[in-house]
Chain A
Amino acid sequence: MSKSLKALAGFAVVAVMTLPLAQAGAEHKRGHKAKDTVKEAKAPAQAAVPIAPPASVKLGLGRPALPEEIAAWDIDVRPDGQGLPPGRGTAKEGDALFQEKCSTCHGEFGEGVGRYPVLSGGHGTLKADRPDKTIGSYWPDATTVYDYVRHAMPFGNARSLSNDEIYALTAYILNMNDVIKDQDFELNQNNLAKVKMPNADGFYEDDRDTAEKAFWNKNPCMKDCGPAPKVIGRAIAVDVTPDEKAGPKVD
């Protein structure tokens, strides 16, 4: 095939691809036929025509998700319990699991190791100078424990726990936070969303537009704005900045 013929054949295929997408599958075969026709008859092909950007249009791209595909990925859990899978577990069962799979980072009782998150304690510290924001002291919803463990834990081996194991671990974590008092209490898909967390009422919607309305200021001061400032703190006195020379090697 000559160069020009190749180009013509290419145009023919592109032109077919611009037909309405519902017909694209059927037309695709015809596209190949068109190619042959061009080769034989040397008929001029019509160039591709741009499609107007759709305002709100089905593009015919993508395919329906199968129920088993949705089931495989739909692992989120909401505060109202939507998404909780069938299953059960107790704190007693969760204890052994926690020691095996979680304590390396979180400590035996969720006290935290190194800089890994502390999971328990901190009650009554939210107004303090150094608040401990743990699951027990801060998290508003018990379902979040399930959702997060199911998505991301154990760290480095995510998605490896069974639904029952996650119920048991959730029960253990809530037990060490005194949210579930009884070690043998069975946590399951019917009661997890009903568990009331200590700080459930501690949150309110972003109110910066009103609480910080003074920051909207048409005429900020430009000249002689207050007394001469004094230095009251220095980063180099804290001395926690990484050394420039200690950066990773780049070749």
Chain B
Amino acid sequence: MSEKPTSDVLNRRRFLGAAGLGAAGLAGAGSMLPSLAAKAGEAAKPDPAITEIQDWNRYLGDGVDKRPYGVPSKFEKDVIRRDVSWLTASPESSVNFTPLHALDGIITPSGLCFERHHGGVAEIDPAQHRLMIHGLVDTPLVFTMDDIKRMPRVNKIYFLECAANSGMEWRGAQLNGCQFTHGMIHNVMYTGVTLKTLLEQAGVKSNAKWLLLEGADSAGMDRSLPLEKALDDVMIAYAMNGEALRPENGYPLRAVIPGWQGNLWVKWLRRIEVGDMPWQTREETSKYTDLMSDGRARKHTFVMDAKSVITSPSPQMPLKFKGRNVLTGIAWSGRGTVKRVDVSMDGGRNWYEARIDGPVLNKSIVRFYVDFDWNGEELMLQSRAIDETGYVQPTKAELRKIRGVNSVYHNNGIQTWLVHPDGVTENVEIA
């Protein structure tokens, strides 16, 4: 590689240095900025985007009521959730993917949060929705949505990742785009009540150890949750990003299980049973257990390990310019906050600490950046998250050495994007 990738600090120093050299320095910098260099060589033509009066500058735009619940610009029509039709038997029991490559910051827009349903989207009238708590409690209770909204509220930002995120990549590079390899994740602010508050209303008996959470959808999704986690940080939420939950995200009520696999975050939540042992439901036996190479399987693998991915450049976001570029990505950990993210541009031989910008919150996505110069050399981009417990995101080879390739879930291995000299970027496996 002719040009060493630089961290932001190094890069800024170089730019300052170049500026200090005056005209000669700028000419040198020109080689890194071909668009400017080209313009300098020829007679500059006026840009019609500037010299011609545009329609939007002359004619009236839409009035205030045209978009009463706003929609994105029509020019963003490609920024959408996408599915992989061959993955599942039917769209009602399927998944689609958050367009991570096109997003920035740490909050996922509500309309782009990936969906995973088992019996389609339940369309529930909130006036008809009930939450029941029963089992090992002093008083079995029924709550309406109004009851729940009269309880003390909390606001928290958490990531929600499907345990099968990147699961198609266990045996090798398969899908060409971080939307597909890593898009079963989103990060939003939830508003709701703590599960602790709800359980206290019913009075949990001393021999209680597990809860069963059950949805009101046609799959009647049910999963067992340890009481200890329930009393720690679990929320029952009715709003995300300031608005009511979207139907596809569990309207009117869902479970929020911070840092733990998305399957536990039961949507359209209607029932919580308190018990003293797990229920061994289909979702926690036939699915969401991790089959090891010895034929045995790990169960109750709830925590999502530290993980990261570079969202741009990536296969759907090829490099378009030589010279100055911004590399960006996201990192997260189910065990707490992300402490550091390293980025490599040579397939893991050399690493540079990326700049994390924006809020760094417990069990939330963080956003990282590396500003770098690119001369058209081949790059093998990787990112590596390190969380507050000292967990370092492993390579795929390290993961496979322990788990084999039949595990399906919890693939948090380091992703590699190969950037070609023409900027085309693809998902590759390296060794």
**Contact surface of A with B, Cβ cutoff 8 Å:** 53-54, 56-59, 61-65, 69-70, 73-80, 82, 105, 114-117, 126-127, 131, 133, 135, 138-141, 143-144, 147-148, 151-152, 155-156, 158-159, 202-208, 211-212, 214-218, 220-226, 228-236, 238, 240-242, 244, 247-248, 250-251
CA distance A214 to B279 in the complex (A): 32
CB 8 Å contact bits of B315-353 with A (1 = contact, 0 = none): 110000000000000000000000000100011111100
Apart from A64-B140, A211-B402, A231-B418, 12 more pairs, CB < 8 Å: A58-B200, A115-B87, A117-B89, A131-B295, A133-B291, A158-B119, A203-B297, A204-B296, A204-B297, A215-B394, A224-B349, A235-B174
The reply to whether the CB of B82 lies closer than 8 angstroms to some CB of chain A is yes
Contact in complex: A217, B390 (CB < 8 Å): yes
Q: What is the distance, in angstroms, from A79's C-beta to the closest C-beta of chain B?
A: 5
Q: What is the distance, in angstroms, from A153's C-beta to the closest C-beta of chain B?
A: 9
Contact in complex: B305, A208 (CB < 8 Å): yes
Q: What is the distance, in angstroms, from B301's C-beta to the closest C-beta of chain A?
A: 4
| Majority secondary structure, A binding face | loop
Counting chain B CB atoms within 10 Å of each CB, which of A215, A221, A234 scores highest? A215
Those 10 A-B pairs whose CB atoms lie nearest each other, nearest first? A151-B220, A229-B347, A233-B429, A235-B427, A126-B295, A148-B282, A65-B140, A115-B89, A127-B295, A229-B430
The reply to whether the CB of B35 lies closer than 8 angstroms to some CB of chain A is no
Contact in complex: B351, A220 (CB < 8 Å): yes
* Residue of B whose beta carbon sits closest to that of A237: B173
Q: What is the distance, in angstroms, from A10's C-beta to the closest C-beta of chain B?
A: 18
CA distance A212 to B134 in the complex (A): 38
Contact in complex: B429, A78 (CB < 8 Å): no
**Stretch binding the partner chain, chosen from B16-24, B147-155, B248-256:** B147-155
Contact in complex: B82, A247 (CB < 8 Å): yes
Q: What is the distance, in angstroms, from B272's C-beta to the closest C-beta of chain A?
A: 11
Given A64-B141, A202-B296, A204-B298, the answer on whether A148 and B431 have CB atoms closer than 8 Å is no
* Residue of A whose beta carbon sits closest to that of B198: A62
Contact in complex: B351, A62 (CB < 8 Å): no
Contact in complex: B118, A152 (CB < 8 Å): yes
Contact in complex: B176, A141 (CB < 8 Å): no
* Residue of B whose beta carbon sits closest to that of A207: B298
**Stretch binding the partner chain, chosen from B25-33, B184-192, B211-219, B365-373:** B211-219
Contact in complex: B350, A220 (CB < 8 Å): no
Q: What is the distance, in angstroms, from B175's C-beta to the closest C-beta of chain A?
A: 5
Q: What is the distance, in angstroms, from B85's C-beta to the closest C-beta of chain A?
A: 7
Contact in complex: B430, A230 (CB < 8 Å): yes
Counting chain B CB atoms within 10 Å of each CB, which of A82, A221, A235 scores highest? A235
**Contact surface of B with A, Cβ cutoff 8 Å:** 74, 77-78, 80, 82-90, 92-93, 118-119, 132-134, 139-143, 147-148, 150-152, 172-177, 180, 197, 200-201, 212, 214, 218-222, 270-271, 273, 275, 277, 279-282, 285-286, 289, 291, 293-303, 305, 315-316, 342, 346-351, 380, 384, 386, 389-394, 398, 402, 406, 416, 418, 426-431
Contact in complex: A70, B299 (CB < 8 Å): no
Q: What is the distance, in angstroms, from B422's C-beta to the closest C-beta of chain A?
A: 14
Given A133-B291, A207-B298, A220-B384, the answer on whether A231 and B428 have CB atoms closer than 8 Å is yes
Chain B contacts for A53, CB-based, 8 A: 152
Given A240-B86, A242-B84, the answer on whether A158 and B220 have CB atoms closer than 8 Å is yes
Chain B contacts for A140, CB-based, 8 A: 280, 285
Q: Which of B87, B89, B302, B426 contacts A236 (CB 8 A)?
A: B426
Contact in complex: A234, B296 (CB < 8 Å): no
| Residue contacts A-B, CB under 8 angstroms, 20 given | A58-B201, A61-B143, A61-B150, A70-B132, A126-B291, A126-B296, A131-B406, A140-B280, A144-B282, A151-B214, A159-B220, A203-B285, A225-B349, A225-B351, A226-B348, A231-B430, A240-B86, A241-B84, A242-B84, A248-B80
CA distance A231 to B212 in the complex (A): 46
Given A64-B141, A229-B349, the answer on whether A144 and B285 have CB atoms closer than 8 Å is yes
Contact in complex: B141, A135 (CB < 8 Å): no
Given A62-B142, A221-B351, the answer on whether A78 and B175 have CB atoms closer than 8 Å is no
Chain B contacts for A158, CB-based, 8 A: 119, 218-220
Contact in complex: B349, A228 (CB < 8 Å): yes
Chain B contacts for A75, CB-based, 8 A: 220
CA distance A244 to B285 in the complex (A): 35
Contact in complex: B219, A78 (CB < 8 Å): no
Contact in complex: A208, B301 (CB < 8 Å): yes
* Residue of B whose beta carbon sits closest to that of A115: B89
Contact in complex: A74, B174 (CB < 8 Å): no
Chain B contacts for A244, CB-based, 8 A: 78, 316
Q: What is the distance, in angstroms, from B156's C-beta to the closest C-beta of chain A?
A: 15
Contact in complex: A63, B141 (CB < 8 Å): yes
Chain A contacts for B285, CB-based, 8 A: 138-141, 144, 203
Contact in complex: B83, A54 (CB < 8 Å): no
Given A144-B281, A235-B176, A250-B77, the answer on whether A57 and B286 have CB atoms closer than 8 Å is no
CA distance A144 to B284 in the complex (A): 10
Contact in complex: B426, A234 (CB < 8 Å): yes
Chain B contacts for A214, CB-based, 8 A: 398
* Residue of A whose beta carbon sits closest to that of B378: A231
Chain A contacts for B350, CB-based, 8 A: 222-225
Contact in complex: A152, B220 (CB < 8 Å): yes
CA distance A158 to B216 in the complex (A): 11
Contact in complex: A61, B201 (CB < 8 Å): yes
